[in-house]
C-alpha cells in the first residue's frame, strides 16, 4: 500500500508532504499515548492519532515514521505542519475516528506493527 492509497481509503486530506505520496507503507499503529508508540513501534510505520501537539512530531522523528494521520478531522497548527514538512513527513487528516480509520486500513491490507512479547508474557 502507498500513502496515496491510504488517502483514498480514508477519504483524507493531505496537509503536507504531497510529494511523498508514492511512498510504500507496510504497517500502522494507533495511539494517543506517545510512550506506548515509543515502547512498541520498532519499524518505519504510519501513526494514527488524535493528538496534534509537538510530542507527536518528536515521536515521529525518533522512530523515523513516514506518515501521520490525524483522526476526527483534527488539523494541527501551521508551526507543526512546517516542522513536519522539514522532517519529511506526510501529514493528513481524516474525518473518521481512529478506530474506524484503523479498520478501513486493515480491510485494505495494512497491518499492525508486530509486537514481540517475552514468552512468559505471551501466555497471560
Output the DSSP codes for 15-35: EE-GGGTT-B--EEEE-S-HH
pTM of this structure: 0.90
Dihedrals phi, psi of 66, to nearest 5 degrees = -100, -30
Per-residue pLDDT of 7-33, as tens digits, reads 999 999 999 999 999 999 999 999 999
Average pLDDT of the segment spanning 80-84: 97
Amino acid at each position: 500500500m502507498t500513502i496515496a492509497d491510504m488517502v483514498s481509503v480514508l477519504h483524507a486530506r493531505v496537509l503536507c508532504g504531497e510529494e511523498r505520496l508514492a511512498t510504500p507503507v507496510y504497517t500502522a499503529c494507533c495511539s494517543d499515548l506517545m510512550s506506548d508508540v515509543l515502547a512498541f513501534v520498532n519499524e518505519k510505520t504510519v501513526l494514527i492519532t488524535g493528538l496534534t501537539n509537538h510530542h507527536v512530531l518528536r515521536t515521529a522523528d525518533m522512530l523515523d515514521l513516514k506518515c501521520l494521520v490525524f483522526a476526527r478531522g483534527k488539523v494541527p497548527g501551521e508551526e507543526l505542519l512546517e516542522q513536519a514538512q522539514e522532517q519529511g513527513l506526510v501529514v493528513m487528516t481524516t474525518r473518521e475516528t481512529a478506530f474506524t480509520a484503523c479498520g478501513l486500513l486493515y480491510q485494505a491490507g495494512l497491518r499492525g506493527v508486530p509486537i514481540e512479547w517475552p514468552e512468559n508474557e505471551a501466555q497471560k
